[in-house]
Amino acid sequence: MRLLTSVGSLILSLSACATVCEANTTYPPATSVTGWGWDDSNTSTLNPATASYLTAMPDWFTLALPNSATQNNVGWGYNNAAQWTFTFASTPVPASDLNVFNYSAWVVNNDGYNLPNGSAAATRSVTGDVGGANFTLNYVPGPNDPGGTSSTINWVNVDFLQIVQAISNYGNDQTGQVTSTVTRYFIDNGGDTLTPFYNLSGGAWGYVYPPLPNNGQPISKFMDDTPYRTEDNGGYGNGQSDAGPDLLSIVWQADTFLAYNMGPVDGTQNDVLLYGGLNWGFTYSDTDTPEPSTFTMAGIGLALMIAGRSWFRPRASAK
């Protein structure tokens, strides 16, 4: 009886844990993670699984230029050739200069992690039906690379430029039927209100830090981003309740480039050279289905405990 009762108690404990002990970020980072949130099963998968090196602009680069994620999608003239031009440098930096310090998927809760300088990253406080990715890019220049010890480009003028493509599917949360698909392209400039660059320290969407001191010589410069979406309110809710339109899934991808603004060149106010970059992102989906493990495990646990007591109950002796 003790064995059956103990097994039943264990299963009951596991069933209780199923509602509060769900998976979130995994370390070492996995390419995909699934966890139970408010009332959905949430899955986030890195897309691509490994950040890929870029030596050219994607086809949708120009589609992102009129839009900024920090100004309600209102254009700032970045697609005005008299104000801004963006071209690839004839000699990009080696791929080894752009180090992926952290690239991990997460759902339900955004776990803490450290940045290249040893400080803790600022994680997302939203919990529940939510998923996204953590991405930290660390640029370590060679002597002749932009910002390097022998480079003519000043270290403070080395920037990051990030453009995003987001394809969102909306629909009925209970049936999973997609009723509309919305594709957005925008510059994700981390809260910077003056430039297209992802350089505002402590910005709403991420963080960029200056180089660490090394007798005045550069060591590295890095950017950190934690994009996410929620199931409720079309992907921008608090993750704690159903509220239309429901986001069923999203494919979120970014191209993050190393950039140098040469300033006025040939009549252009800001002539920007791109020295390579990385493509990264995530796919998030949620499924509104009952969590069978909780009720099933609880039922099994209770059944075993009751059975143990009845099977081993002392029987009256025959007269």
Q: Which of 89, 199, 210 is nearest to 146 (CA)?
A: 89
- pLDDT band with cut points at 50, 70 and 90 for residue 13: very low
Residue 274 has pLDDT above 60, yes or no: yes
Between 78 and 288, residue with greater pLDDT: 78
Does 203 have pLDDT greater than 80?
no
Average pLDDT (180-190) is: 92
Alpha carbon separation from 198 to 68, 74, 192, 264 (Å, rounded) = 11, 17, 7, 20
Reported as a pLDDT band with limits 50, 70 and 90, residue 267 is confident
pLDDT tens digits, residue range 25-58? 555 567 899 999 998 999 999 999 999 999 999 9
User: SS3 of 316, please?
Assistant: coil
Give the per-residue pLDDT at 201.
Answer: 58
Residue 102 is predicted with a pLDDT of 93
> Comparing C-alpha atoms, which of 257, 188, 194 is closest to residue 228?
188
Per-residue pLDDT, averaged over 282-308, amounts to: 61
The predicted structure's pLDDT at residue 295:
45
A 10 A CB-CB count for 112 gives 11
Q: How far is CA 281 from the centre of its chain?
A: 7
Tens-digit pLDDT profile for residues 230-256: 999 889 888 987 777 799 999 999 999
- Mean confidence (pLDDT) of the chain: 80
- pTM assigned to the model: 0.81
Q: Which of 183-187, 236-240, 299-303 bottoms out in mean pLDDT, i.e. has the lowest?
A: 299-303
Helix (H, G, I), strand (E, B) or coil at 221: strand
Condensed to tens digits (0 to 9), the pLDDT of residues 123-136 reads 899 999 999 999 99
Could you tell me where the beta strands, DSSP code E, fall in the chain?
32-36, 41-46, 52-54, 84-88, 98-107, 130-139, 158-171, 178-187, 206-209, 221-225, 228-230, 246-261, 270-287
Lowest mean pLDDT among 32-41, 67-76, 156-165, 198-207: 198-207
pLDDT (average), residues 74-81 = 81
